[in-house]
Amino acid sequence: MPRVLVIGGGQNPEHEVSLASAAAVAAALRITGHAVTTVTIDRAGIWRANGIPPCTTPAESLGLALPLIADADVIFPAVHGTLGEDGALAALAALAGVGVVGSDLRTGAIGMDKWATKLVADAVGIRTARGRLISADDIGDAEFEEAVVVKPVSAGSSYGVSLVTKAGDLLGALHAAAQYDRRILVEEVVRAREIDVAVLRESGGVRWAAPPLEIHAPGLFDTATKYDGSARFTVPAHLDPAQTSALKRAAIAMFDALGCAGVARMDFFLTDDGPILNEVNTMPGLTAASQVPRMFAAAGVEYTDLVTRMVRAALPSREG
With 60 as the cut, is the pLDDT of residue 226 above it? no
Q: What is the 3-state composition of the chain as percent helix, strand, coil, each rounded to the nearest 5?
A: 35, 25, 40
Q: Which helix (H) or strand (E) holds 175?
A: helix 170-178
User: What is d(CA 274, CA 247) in angstroms, rounded to the nearest whole number?
Assistant: 8
Whether the ω angle into residue 58 lies within 30 degrees of 0, i.e. cis, is no
User: What is d(CA 208, CA 204) in angstroms, rounded to the nearest whole number?
Assistant: 12
Task: For residues 146 and 227, state if they share a domain.
Answer: no
Q: Residue 199: how many CA atoms within 13 Å on its side-chain side?
A: 28
Domain boundary among 141, 162, 188: 188
Q: Residue 40: how many CA atoms within 13 Å on its side-chain side?
A: 17
Task: For residues 161 and 205, state if they share a domain.
Answer: no
Q: Place 141 in a pLDDT band, splitting at 50, 70 and 90.
A: confident
Phi, psi for residue 133 in degrees, rounded to 5 = -95, 135
In a domain, residue 319? The reply is: no
What's the pLDDT tens digit per position in 249-271? 999 999 999 999 999 999 999 99
Domain boundary among 165, 188, 211: 188
Q: Are 261 and 176 in contact (CB under 8 A)?
A: no
Phi, psi for residue 26 in degrees, rounded to 5 = -60, -45
The count of residues in the chain is: 320
Distances (CA, A) of 256 to 91, 124, 211, 311: 20, 10, 18, 19
In a domain, residue 239? The reply is: yes
Kindly state the percentage of the chain with pLDDT values over 90: 81
Domain range for 54: 3-101
**Strand partners of residue 131:** 187
In a domain, residue 9? The reply is: yes
In a domain, residue 320? The reply is: no
Q: Which helix (H) or strand (E) holds 163?
A: strand 162-164
Task: For residues 75 and 115, state if they share a domain.
Answer: no
- Three-state DSSP state, 223: helix
User: What is d(CA 12, CA 16) in angstroms, rounded to the nearest whole number?
Assistant: 9
Task: For residues 269 and 181, state if they share a domain.
Answer: no
What's the pLDDT tens digit per position in 56-82? 999 999 999 999 999 999 999 999 999
User: What is d(CA 107, CA 221) in angstroms, rounded to the nearest whole number?
Assistant: 25
Task: For residues 177 and 69, state if they share a domain.
Answer: no
The pTM of this model reads 0.91
Domain boundary among 84, 101, 118: 101
In a domain, residue 63? The reply is: yes
Here the CATH number for the domain that contains residue 271 is: 3.30.470.20
Task: For residues 215 and 157, state if they share a domain.
Answer: no
Here the CATH number for the domain that contains residue 50 is: 3.40.50.20
Task: For residues 202 and 58, state if they share a domain.
Answer: no
- Identify residue 250 by its one-letter amino acid code: A
Task: For residues 120 and 10, state if they share a domain.
Answer: no
Q: Which helix (H) or strand (E) holds 119?
A: helix 114-123
In a domain, residue 215? The reply is: yes
Greater model confidence, 14 or 28: 28
What's the pLDDT tens digit per position in 295-314? 999 999 999 999 999 999 99
Question: Number of structural domains, the chain?
Answer: 3
Task: For residues 206 and 176, state if they share a domain.
Answer: no
Task: For residues 231 and 120, state if they share a domain.
Answer: yes
**Strand partners of residue 184:** 134, 152
Here the CATH number for the domain that contains residue 170 is: 3.30.1490.20
Q: Give DSSP secondary structure letters for 2-45.
A: -EEEEEEE-SSTTHHHHHHHHHHHHHHHHHTT-EEEEEEE-TTS
Phi, psi for residue 217 in degrees, rounded to 5 = -125, 150
In a domain, residue 182? The reply is: yes
With 80 as the cut, is the pLDDT of residue 180 above it? yes
Q: Place 317 in a pLDDT band, splitting at 50, 70 and 90.
A: low
With 50 as the cut, is the pLDDT of residue 320 above it? no
Task: For residues 137 and 73, state if they share a domain.
Answer: no
Task: For residues 8 and 86, state if they share a domain.
Answer: yes
